[in-house]
Structure 1
């Protein structure tokens, strides 16, 4: 019996069978360094990071909206001032034109024309 034990060693595996591929590398768990950083961190950490990023985006968009609103308000004020100045200028021209018409009418009444001065 001692010769049989030496000649036929039994491998300890499931049901006494062993793969015939002794040349194939044994499988092991995947190294986490090969995975992306997102998979290496826990779900809670990823959610905290996402929440922070969303809060920063929201704040940035609010600031941008406020800035645009202020810009629009200033633009409206400038436009109103410009329109008011244009209206004043137009009224002055109309007033001057009406004054010229009235003086011309009075001159015609008095009998004075461009040709006759006096």
Structure 2
């Protein structure tokens, strides 16, 4: 995967939650915070369980992406920069899915007695 790879080609685990402007966002823009994807911490629903007393609440990465992408994009991809934890979460889910696919492929080849 290259940093210039468009997010839409990644088929990320975050893909269940469409990312606004996802077809224009690259991995580089996710990593340097110029994607325009809002920070999930800016969504009032992010802290709601904790403020209600559920201190043991766990939010999955997919839920974090949904919280971030529920907000209006901060700007068009590549036109500005603003820190967003959602960027790292989307990138992490993308890498995780790539890694899992590679692991499955290696296991398939090894099970057939070949060299990966």
After TM superposition, the score normalised by the length of structure 2 is 0.29
Q: What TM-score comes out, normalization by structure 1 length?
A: 0.28
Higher Rg = 1
Q: Greater helix share, 1 or 2?
A: 1
